């Protein structure tokens, strides 16, 4: 009986510890994405090329073409983990965003962003 109690204790501990570690890992990824966007926002300037922006901010979460411009979007909310979403712990407000507009030659014309 003692062995069975130990086995149950181990299983229960794993059912608690593994999700807790995953939540922590997902939060770490999200905070890293937020920090990257904040740093990129402070460094991106008009006249930079698309490649330079991508080195600073990473691959955009989405892009859009409008007239002769291309607009890249980053949203830290896109980097919240699946477990946070499944458990209903994710939220849509308070996330860092970054938007960069490029002209037809691929040069930054303006940027905006902040916390939504």
Note the pLDDT of residue 2. Answer: 86
pTM (2 d.p.): 0.78
Q: What share of the chain has pLDDT > 90, as a percent?
A: 45
Q: What share of the chain has pLDDT > 70, as a percent?
A: 93
Fold adopted by 2-115: Beta-lactamase Inhibitory Protein; Chain:B, domain 1 (3.30.1450)
- Greater model confidence, 57 or 116: 57
Choose among 73, 75, 81: nearest CA to 29: 81
């Amino acid at each position: 009986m003692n062995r069975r109690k130990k086995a149950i204790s181990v299983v229960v501990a794993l059912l608690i510890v593994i999700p807790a570690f995953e939540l922590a890992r997902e939060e770490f990824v999200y905070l890293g994405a937020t920090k990257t966007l904040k740093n990129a926002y402070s460094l991106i300037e008009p006249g930079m090329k698309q490649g330079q922006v991508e080195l600073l901010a990473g691959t955009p979460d989405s892009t859009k073409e409008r007239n002769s411009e291309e607009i890249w979007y980053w949203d830290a909310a896109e980097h919240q983990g699946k477990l946070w979403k499944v458990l209903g712990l994710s939220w849509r407000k308070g996330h860092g965003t970054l938007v960069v507009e490029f002209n037809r030659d691929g040069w930054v014309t303006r940027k905006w962003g902040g916390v939504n």
